[in-house]
Amino acid sequence: MSTVRVRFAPSPTGDLHVGGARTALFNWLYARHHGGAFVLRIEDTDAARSTEAATQVIIDALEYLGLDWDEGPGKDGDYGPYYQSQRLDLYREYADVLMEKGRAYECYCSPEELDQRRQEQIKLGQSTRYDGRCLHLSEEEKQNFREQGRVPVIRFKALEEGETLVEDLVRGNVKFDNVTQVDDFVIFKSDGMPTYNFAVVVDDALMKITHVIRGEDHLSNTPKQIQIYQALGFAVPKFAHIPMILGPDKSLLSKRHGATSVTQFYDEGYLASAMVNYLSLLGWGYDDSQTIFSTSELVEKFGLERVSKNPAVFDIQKLEWMNGVYIRNLSLEELYEVALPFWQKAGYLPEAPSPEVKEYAIRILKELQSRMKLIAEVVELAEYFFRDDYEYKEEIVQKIMTKPHTESVLDFVYGAVQAAVKLDEETLKPQFQVGLETFGIKMGDLIQPIRVALTGTNVSPGIYDVLELLGKERVLARLERTKAMLKEKELI
Ligand code: GLU
């Protein structure tokens, strides 16, 4: 069997969304599983909508997900993508071939005329297709049109009868009626740019793509493309149209459903390994039970035969849960590496943290690791570890710091901490116990106000861990700061 060659061919017109990333991943997994090649081709022939920024977003997203491509302009493994805008001569060349074979022709109909005829077809209940009017124009007629200032498009001369069969590896055999479903579509626009359906065939053929794996929304384009392959005498690749992705309400996934772009997921701190794992399950599954797959396991197990025909539902809660699983599997050193940029951006940590600062950061992460779903949460969760001017949550202050004994408890703890040689549980717990008896309260009534005093809120790692991490000096200062705050609010 010839070597597998697949491609990801995004149009750089906006963010890379879940669907596009999933298509890229399935292609990449297929290539890696078969030891084949994964090609990245930027389909930027729509000059009005394509931007360099969008291309960069795609490249960044693929790099973040670890989906590396194997060839392109460049050398020594450092390849740029292929750009369709740099291959325009090729498309022109093959359009000429089709013209010579009588399988393409110039069309001078104006958009207004086409629209008018379309409306008439709709009125008559006919299928809306190009009526072939320019197929047999004489040179003289063409000349006349040109003199009127009309610039032609080039249309493909589609088959007029029979059916085009798409043998799809996911969807099985799908037949398209040539009369009603494939008309003489445009392959070159009047601005001199090829259309998607044409350029994609020329490229897939010249790049020797063996398997076209893409979203099901392209299934209806496939008969058009197959007719072009056949007209040019190219071998037709295998097709695999992968199911659409829906939101929880079962409508097509869109921005309405919340975060859907890979950039957003990156910014929120989803780990690439979790993203790859989650995306792989959007339309593919190994068996009914396994959901956690390392990337290398996916490479080993992925195949098109297990791709479902049914739409997949994007479930952000499941992705979040999965991210938490992957976070807990990181070593503290790895977690530090991914958390660092977030803390730097928040201004908690400098460009190059000293070994002591790093050690402190890692001790914090040890306490937070089990409670995180997103890496971005480290900013809020760790604020009070890095900033002495942390805010007190008003409703928590009202709930917890208004209880009797608050002031006495804070004073008592101040004394206990001041006298302690170490701020660990072993040293402090027996001291705190003494306070409980004195005030006739329970441990929770003592710990809650200290927690609020030291962190500004009522959720944190274990109180002794917080005390130890902050250290005596900061604990004492925070107890004082809290008292001042309570006095100012006239709560004590
Ligand atoms: N540029 C097309 C898109 O982004 C590519 C479709 C295909 O893979 O053929 O939808």
224 lines ligand 1 (CB under 6 A): no
The pLDDT value recorded for residue 1 is 53
Pick the atom of ligand 1 nearest to 213's CA.
8
Write the residue with the smallest CA distance to atom 4 of ligand 1: 10
Write the residue with the smallest CA distance to atom 10 of ligand 1: 10
Distance from Cα 216 to the centre of ligand 1, integer Å: 11
Distance from Cα 196 to the centre of ligand 1, integer Å: 8
The letter for the amino acid at 110 is S
Dist CA 72 CA 417 (whole Å): 64
The pLDDT value recorded for residue 492 is 87
Closest CA to 194 of 85, 120, 49: 85
Pocket test for ligand 1, best of 196, 225, 226, 244 (most atoms within 8 A of CB): 196
What is the assigned CATH class of domain 394-488?
mainly alpha
10 lines ligand 1 (CB under 6 A): yes
Task: Specify whether domain 5-86+245-313 bears CATH 3.40.190.10.
Answer: no
Pocket test for ligand 1, best of 11, 50, 166, 242 (most atoms within 8 A of CB): 11
Dist CA 19 CA 8 (whole Å): 12
The pLDDT value recorded for residue 291 is 97
Check if the beta carbon of residue 326 is closer than 8 Å to that of residue 277: yes
Pocket test for ligand 1, best of 212, 218, 224 (most atoms within 8 A of CB): 218
Query: Could you write out the three-class secondary structure of 33-64?
Result: HHCCEEEEEECCCCCCCCCHHHHHHHHHHHHH
Distance from Cα 58 to the centre of ligand 1, integer Å: 13
Strand ranges inside 400-450, DSSP E: none
The CATH number of domain 88-242, selected from 3.40.50.300, 3.30.200.20, 3.40.50.620, 3.30.1950.10: 3.40.50.620
203 lines ligand 1 (CB under 6 A): no
Distance from Cα 70 to the centre of ligand 1, integer Å: 19
The pLDDT value recorded for residue 365 is 98
214 lines ligand 1 (CB under 6 A): yes
Catalytic residue among 101, 175, 255, 487: 255
**316-323, long-range: CB within 8 Å, 24+ apart, which pairs?**
316/257, 316/258, 316/259, 318/278, 319/270, 319/274, 319/275, 319/278, 320/373, 320/374, 321/373, 322/274, 322/277, 322/278, 322/291, 322/292, 323/269, 323/270, 323/271, 323/274, 323/275, 323/373, 323/374
Rounded to the nearest 10 degrees, the angle between the axes of helix 355-368 and helix 463-488 is: 90
- 3-state secondary structure (DSSP) of residue 156: strand
CATH, range 330-386: 1.10.8.70
466 lines ligand 1 (CB under 6 A): no
Pick the atom of ligand 1 nearest to 20's CA.
4
Distance from Cα 402 to the centre of ligand 1, integer Å: 62
Per-residue pLDDT for the chain (492 aa), expressed as one digit of tens each? 569 999 999 999 999 999 999 999 999 999 999 999 999 999 999 989 999 999 999 999 999 999 999 999 988 888 999 999 999 999 999 999 999 999 999 999 999 999 999 999 999 998 889 999 999 999 999 999 999 999 999 999 999 999 999 999 999 999 999 999 999 999 999 999 999 999 999 999 999 999 999 999 999 999 999 999 999 999 999 999 999 999 999 999 998 888 899 999 999 999 999 999 999 999 999 998 999 999 999 999 999 999 999 999 999 999 999 999 999 999 999 999 999 999 999 999 999 999 999 999 999 999 999 999 999 999 999 999 999 999 999 999 999 999 989 999 999 999 999 999 999 999 999 999 999 999 999 999 999 999 999 999 999 999 999 999 999 999 999 999 999 999 999 998
Check if the beta carbon of residue 47 is closer than 8 Å to that of residue 289: no
Pick the atom of ligand 1 nearest to 221's CA.
9
41 lines ligand 1 (CB under 6 A): no
6 lines ligand 1 (CB under 6 A): no
CATH topology of 88-242 equal to that of 330-386?
no
Pick the atom of ligand 1 nearest to 10's CA.
4
Distance from Cα 251 to the centre of ligand 1, integer Å: 21
Verify whether residue 255 is a known catalytic residue.
Answer: yes
The full set of domain ranges for the chain reads 5-86+245-313, 88-242, 330-386, 394-488
Q: Which two tokens stand for residue 351?
A: 């460009």
9 lines ligand 1 (CB under 6 A): yes
